[in-house]
Amino acid sequence: MTPCLAGLRQQIFGISLKETTFAQRCFHQGDARSQQRLEQIGEIFLFGYHTALRYDRSEVLAHQLNQVELELRGFAFEGAAMGLALQDALIPWRRNRLHNFLAGPGAAHVYMVHVGVGWVLARLHQRVKPFLQRLDPLLGWLTVDGYGFHEGYFHWQWAVAEQIVPNRLSGYACRVFDQGLGRSLWFIDGGDVARIPVTISQFPTARQADLWSGVGLACAYAGGVERAGIEALRQSAGIYLPCIAQGAVFAAKARQNAGNSSEYTEIACEVLCDCSANAAAKIADIALEQLPIGTEPAYEIWRRRIQAQFAIKQVQPYMNSCR
């Protein structure tokens, strides 16, 4: 890509770094360290996004993304996926950027790449079903998760305060949207473990399990909160512990696949899953085995199998106390 064309793309599609600040987003400003961490994540996402607008060849792009600190690198790949998918959708030649990226350097970050693609689904207001048909039948649902995160992050006043779900979503897509929306709560509430349960409790009961799942994923992947805070979050989750634990398992699997382990993920898995991050990732692997093909999305069966492991753990202490 010529420098002139790259500059034009950034001028047209660029997003200001101000958009990642809590002040600009009107997010809750509580713990300064948590805020700094979460704002940094937004900056790295935009670095990946803008880098993809400048370098759309996979090998050159990956070289630039790999300059990011390993522990935070997944967010750069997430942003890059958005940039590539946006160009595939809007530029009428070479519509294989995302495909080539996933087949090459993006493969290790396959989970984050699919989530990043969801931002394009949100920004271009595309129909979900045709969009999903072009993606992996299992992980493609993560784009709807990314859609939910985007709407919470950029439009929390209606997605969270007014609890509105986009009218072009239906069926299972509404649930996955809520999982992404739950991830956004980690940012909107600034990782405040006292505020997040209150925010979730204001939603209809039918939506709360998926919101908790998203919170668990963000807690374990994005991090920013120390062990004591995660222990308080586990206590607040109550009956939704299997959901928040399943989110942490997904985070552990994504990081294991990318080889970018994090102390935040390790601690979150110890607290929420009662095991190490590697053991949590193994739970995800086992739950993937022999997924049935039917009318119910395999992605949901995968999630439910993981949650069942923690539902059993929840029941066991109670049974022991009754003996």
* pTM attached to this predicted model: 0.94
pLDDT at 238: 97
Residues 6+ apart with CB under 8 A from 149: 115, 118, 180, 181, 183, 184, 214
pLDDT at 9: 62
- State the average pLDDT over residues 191-216: 99
pLDDT at 318: 37
pLDDT at 235: 98
pLDDT at 11: 60
Q: Taking 60 as the threshold, does the pLDDT of residue 1 lie above it?
A: no
The parent domain of residue 282 ranges over 3-321
Q: Taking 90 as the threshold, does the pLDDT of residue 315 lie above it?
A: no
Q: Taking 70 as the threshold, does the pLDDT of residue 189 lie above it?
A: yes
Model pLDDT for residues 234-252, shown as the tens digit of each residue: 999 999 999 999 999 999 9
pLDDT at 6: 57
**Domains held by the chain: number:** 1
Q: Taking 60 as the threshold, does the pLDDT of residue 5 lie above it?
A: no
